[in-house]
Every structure is written in C-alpha cells, then in structure tokens.
Structure 1
C-alpha cells in the first residue's frame, strides 16, 4: 500500500507522535526558563541594551548555523540532526550556571545555545511535517507546536515559585533555574534516541540543491518576508516581557505567558484542522495583523488584565502563523530540498531576532518600553504590507511560472490554497 494511503488510516495521536510532543515539551520548557534571563542580567548590573544584546545572541548564531543545518538535514537525516541538536542544547543550557554576571561569557554561551537550538528546531519541524498524514499536515504541525506552548505556560510559574522558595542568594537562584533547563534538555535528548527513523521519500537518491538556488524563486522569497516580520514581533515580546513587567510594575510576567500559551493551545487543538482547509495566505496575513494589534496594546498596558489581553492577541497570531508558514514552505519545496527550504524560511526569523533585539533594547533604554512596543508594531505592519504585495507568488499560476524558470520539478503540489 502506498505510504500516504497508509498514513490516512492512522490516528493522529500515535505513540510515536506523543513521544515527539514530549520531546518538544521538554525542550521548550528549557527555552521558557531562559525568558527569565533578562532579570538575571539586570540583577548583575546590565541594562536594556545589554539585555537586548545577550537575548539576541542566540539568533546571531542561528544565522550562521541555519543554512548549513538545512543541508545537513537533507543529507544526514532529520532524526540524526534532532539528536545532535538536543545533545549540544543540553550542554549549552548548562553553561550559564557558571556565569558570574552579564558579560562576555554569558553572551557567548547564549550564542552557543542558538546554534544548538537551530539544529534541533529545524530538524524537528521537518521531521514532523514529513511524518504527518496527507491532508492533515498543518494540523499536525500545529498540535506539535502546542506541546511547546504547554511548556511555556508552565515554566514561568515554576520559575517564579522556585525564585521565591529556593534558600539561596538571588543570583544563585537563577543559576539553579539554568541547571533545571539543562536537565529538561537532557531528558529530551534521551527521549529522542528512541524515535522512529526518517520517512523515505522519492528523491533520496538526489543531492539537495544549493541554498541560493532554492532561494532564487519568488515563492520562497515571499515565505521569508513574513518570517522576518514575525521575528521582530517575537523579539519585542519574549526578549523583554519579564523586564517590561518589572519596570512598569504590571505584575508577574506569568500572567502574560499563561494567557499567551492557553490561547495558542486552545486554538490549535480546536481549530487546527481548518489550516488544511482554508487559504493559508489569509491565515498568515490575519495573524500578522493580530500580533501588531497586540504590540500596540502592550504599549498602553497598565496592569495584569492588560497583560492577559496582550497574551490573547499575540497568542492568537502565533498560534496560527507558525503552522501555516511551515506547511506552506514544506508543500512548496522538493523532497530533497525540504530541510534547506525550512532553514531559509526560519532564517528570516533569525535575522530579525538578531538585528531587531538590540535596536529595540536601545529604544527602550533611550526612551521607554512604550516607545519600543509602538515602534515594533509599526515595523510589523509595514512588513505585513510588503508580504501582501507578493501574494500572487503563492498562487497556482506562480507555481507554473516558477516551473518554467527552474525546471518542472522545482516546486511541487500546491501552496495550501483552498484545500
């Protein structure tokens, strides 16, 4: 029986998929702990610009690793790169335990964490998309991501509780959190050793194309644009929210993280299947607009209830945009280039995180967080308009044009339009 016919008869929540959810839950739990790194930086003498610089360091390293990672995934396999990424992620998560303060050492070890995470995240998204049942790929990617949101909802509360009850000095309390992050990564690594092997595909005998040839299509270029825009919004929220709530006296940041994560989880679990039935371009466009509204609302927040609404708005946007863009990218690429295509799409996110984070930190330091979130909102809405100008490149006619230019097998299937 053909592979995709076999898949269509299987339930979505198989043991193999549940294992992937557990791996991603543990890995994202470690990532969530490091959302509290800005408070450690401020505690040890850093200010907004240094917060932005250190928090943007992982994205800087991700830019260096992203393109070769795509090639490695296509050549060496998805599972192998997942295991390798989690192994180095475990080491990188443990190194901040030895940081004495907000200095060069912390900058370098966080950059190392960026290199490790880019290997894991690129490999796991490609792996999940490839294992997904035909006609339910976006839903599968959405639910896989929900496992990470559950971890993001829990880890802030866990961190806040530990910071209150641990009988250590303030700086050593944070080092204990960093050790916990390393433990979670280690458990994810051990779990990953037992997952299924990669799915065979029709182009395994072919070498992947160079990244610049894959990127040369307008279809691919206009998948990178919303990634860049989303990255700038993500940087303004997650790199600064813990410090923003402390400086503005808005309450505990866990209020935001909980509403953000619950919103994304509920939407993905209840409406995820819609992403395989409607025009994904509309989903991307609408998601960016909603996130922009959330950023503007953050600039006028006055208390915990405002943080809840900011979390709902940005969580709605994130809940839909990532599975839509990931599936759009996967379905628009050749089997032999899927790792490279996913890397290029995520590269836009990395570039935005690296360049925008310190700039936003400087704006917050020179003016305040109100100005920072308004500037971030304007950047996102301008980028959304740019993405809208390339709408035609994701239509079926554009795929036919691309085939004439690059060869009839350069892009395959469809772009998820009105499935």
Structure 2
C-alpha cells in the first residue's frame, strides 16, 4: 500500500514555508545534536580503549562497536510503535534518559579495568543501552518532525535530524580526544551521562503531536513496504560504519598520529551537503539523488584505501560524508512515500533498522577482514559494497516510473 500521488500533491501544495519548517524543527534538532555528542565523543577513543587499554583484538573492537547498532535494530519496532501509540515526544524524551544511563555504565566498566574481559562485557551493556536510547531518539525525532511539518517535508526533516546527528559526530570526535587526554575514559563517561539529560529541557515546551495509531502495527507489514529503500540504506551505510569503527586504527597502523580530524572532515562535508542540497530528495526524487551520492561515497572510500598520506585520507573521509549525506534522506523519502500516515513511526523505525543491520554487521565482519588482510582492506571492501546500492536506486526509479505510467 503506497501513499496516493494525489495526496502527495495536495500536501505539497500546502507545504509550509522553509522558515516555518526550520523554526518548528529547531528544538528537536538541537536536542538530537546535544545528546548525540555522547556518541560522537567516544568515536575515536573507544576503539583504542578496547584495543590498547583492554588489549582486545580488532574483532572484539568490532563486536563492542556493533553492539550499539544491534541493540538499536532490535528496539526499532518497539520504538516505532511507542511513537505511534503514545506519541513521538514521549518516545524521544524516554530515549534521552536511557542514553544517559549508558554513560553511567561506561563509568562502571572502569571499575573492572584489571579484569579486561569483564570490563568489555560491562561496556557491551552500555553500548546496548546506548543503542536503545538512540533508537527512541531518532525514531521519535523523525516521526515528531514529520508530524509537525507534514510528510511533504519528510526529506527536510531527515536532512536536519541528520545534520544534528553527524554534526555531533564531527564536533564530538576532536573534543573526545581532548577530553580523553586530560580526563581519560572517565571524562568521556561523565559527558556521556550528562549530555542527553541536558537536552530534555529543550523539548518541554515543544507541541506534542497526537498519537497516530490506537494499536500496535505489526512490524513485518510496514517492513514489506520500505524494504527496497531500506536495502539501499543498508548497503550505503557500510561506508559510514567502516569510517567510525576503524579509521582510528587505520591511522595508528600507518603511523599518522590520531585520526580525530577524519571525523570533522566527514561531518563538515556531510553537513554542507545537507544544508546546500537537503531539499533535492523532496524536489527531484529520493532515488535519483541517492544514485549519484552513493557513487561519490564509493570514490571517497577508495581514496582512503589508497591513501599514502593523512591529507588524502581526510579528503576521502570528506567525500564519503558528502555522498552518504544525501543518500540517507534520498532512500528515506522513498520509504515515506510507501508507508501509510498512521504507521509513520513504525515506518521510520523499519527504515532506520536497515542502518542498524548494516552497522551491526559491518563492525565484526570488517574486523575479521582486517585481521585476515589488514586494516586497509576494509575500505576497498566497503567501496565495493556501497557501489551495490546503485542497483537499488535504479530499481526504485524504475518502480516509480511504472507506477506513474500505470
């Protein structure tokens, strides 16, 4: 069941001005940004903490990183139904509190630093809590934003929420390195506890949207509507996963110093693409935009693979961020157009679940590849996988053309 084209046309005609959309989304966007700093700060620190301080293998590093995304995956259906039946505002605020608990768990892991295996397991619990909190925040923010400004602005909602998320990664990474140098992993843990809680007051006065469903929608029914767009997201997200999980180890392996600037390079390019071209998926069609952008992302990953200097790796990270930036809302617009309004929260949860699957698999799979063929091989494999999402974009475009001529 897809959204009728006539309904989309009517919604587009009643689309609110861009300034109104920005004002309506600003508190939600700021809350996402502040809370996601607790994910951004550990990005360059956690892999090294597990690999060096706890003396674990790259496979274990991948498993610890991937635990967050696995938890987010398995909580998407619950988060989506919570947003639909109890309201997106409720889901997002609950997510902020759960994310704060993950920081406390990170801190608890330091009590077992002399027993590395136990410390890793406590870290995994923290990553699971972080994944559940992230699931509630993202699903709630997307559903709430679309409810406030209308489905005709779904691409803009995804663009601004994405700017907040990846802006937090870009800003958080160098701050995380600085905090770790001065205060150690304990400082990272304290920040991870406080930042989500500081976001709560921003949302208190924002108008809540009414629940869109009276009862739970079976997840599999909505999943069948968005799986095509979701597969595109799954494939193109491998590039993002390889960058966040392993670029710090790549820089260490090549004796280039710390990799903190790779994250701002990715994030600044990501934000610039969203701010300059975030309207294009709504205007030109999501699949068409995604097709071009995943090719740019693949080129960036190939540059990282072949880089002989940090500067080339930074350029590769920037191209990866630029391409991935619009691939997410590109495929996302296709998902929204195929889902009924009363199941919007579940649809967003189902769509983002493909990101979780991708990142959950990427960590351990690429960690095993690194163990067999070296860290650099990760980025060649990632480029090849990302390139496959071109086929998905073409299939979505052909499906849309058949519907329009029917």
Do the structures match in fold with TM over 0.5?
A: yes
**RMSD between aligned residues:** 2.5
Match of 1:52 among 52, 62, 66: 62
Q: Does the 8 A contact of 1:129 with 1:327 survive in 2?
A: no
Q: Following the alignment from structure 1 to structure 2, what is the Cα–Cα distance between the partners of residues 343 and 26?
A: 21
Kindly state the Cα deviation for residue 222 of structure 1 after the two structures are TM-superposed: 0.8
- Corresponding position: 1:105 with 2:125: no
Q: Does the 8 A contact of 1:229 with 1:384 survive in 2?
A: no
Partner of 1:28: 36
Q: Following the alignment from structure 1 to structure 2, what is the Cα–Cα distance between the partners of residues 398 and 224?
A: 22
**Aligned pair in 2 of structure 1 residues 326, 389: CA closer, same or farther (>3 Å)?**
closer
Partner of 1:67: 77
- Corresponding position: 1:18 with 2:26: yes
Q: 1:119-130, aligned counterparts within 5 Å?
A: 119-130=136-147
Structure 2 stretches of 5 or more lacking a match?
A: 1-9
Q: Following the alignment from structure 1 to structure 2, what is the Cα–Cα distance between the partners of residues 74 and 134?
A: 15
Q: Following the alignment from structure 2 to structure 1, what is the Cα–Cα distance between the partners of residues 154 and 325?
A: 15
Aligned length: 388
Kindly state the Cα deviation for residue 206 of structure 1 after the two structures are TM-superposed: 5.5
- Corresponding position: 1:40 with 2:49: yes
Q: Following the alignment from structure 2 to structure 1, what is the Cα–Cα distance between the partners of residues 330 and 392?
A: 18
Match of 1:95 among 93, 102, 105: 105
Match of 1:155 among 151, 164, 172: 172
Q: Following the alignment from structure 1 to structure 2, what is the Cα–Cα distance between the partners of residues 73 and 363?
A: 38
SS in 2 for 1:216: helix
- Corresponding position: 1:78 with 2:84: no
Kindly state the Cα deviation for residue 207 of structure 1 after the two structures are TM-superposed: 4.0
Q: Following the alignment from structure 1 to structure 2, what is the Cα–Cα distance between the partners of residues 213 and 134?
A: 20
TM-score, length of structure 2 as denominator length:
0.87
**Aligned pair in 2 of structure 1 residues 13, 397: CA closer, same or farther (>3 Å)?**
closer
Q: Following the alignment from structure 2 to structure 1, what is the Cα–Cα distance between the partners of residues 379 and 28?
A: 35
Match of 1:376 among 372, 382, 401: 382
Q: Following the alignment from structure 2 to structure 1, what is the Cα–Cα distance between the partners of residues 354 and 405?
A: 22
Q: Following the alignment from structure 2 to structure 1, what is the Cα–Cα distance between the partners of residues 21 and 281?
A: 18
Structure 1 stretches of 5 or more lacking a match?
A: 167-172, 401-419
Kindly state the Cα deviation for residue 24 of structure 1 after the two structures are TM-superposed: 1.3
**Aligned pair in 2 of structure 1 residues 72, 52: CA closer, same or farther (>3 Å)?**
same
Deviations 1:311-370 (A, max 9, x none): 221111122112222333223211111111111111111112222310110111222111
Q: Which has the higher helix share?
A: 2
Deviations 1:108-133 (A, max 9, x none): 22122112211111111121222225
Q: Following the alignment from structure 2 to structure 1, what is the Cα–Cα distance between the partners of residues 120 and 181?
A: 25
Deviations 1:199-225 (A, max 9, x none): 67xxx46545422222334xx221111
Kindly state the Cα deviation for residue 31 of structure 1 after the two structures are TM-superposed: 1.0
Q: 1:10-409, aligned counterparts within 5 Å?
A: 11-12=19-20, 15-35=23-43, 36-42=45-51, 43-99=53-109, 100=113, 101=116, 103-132=120-149, 135-166=152-183, 173-198=184-209, 204=212, 207=215, 209-217=217-225, 220-395=226-401, 397=403
TM-score, length of structure 1 as denominator length:
0.85
**Aligned pair in 2 of structure 1 residues 300, 174: CA closer, same or farther (>3 Å)?**
same
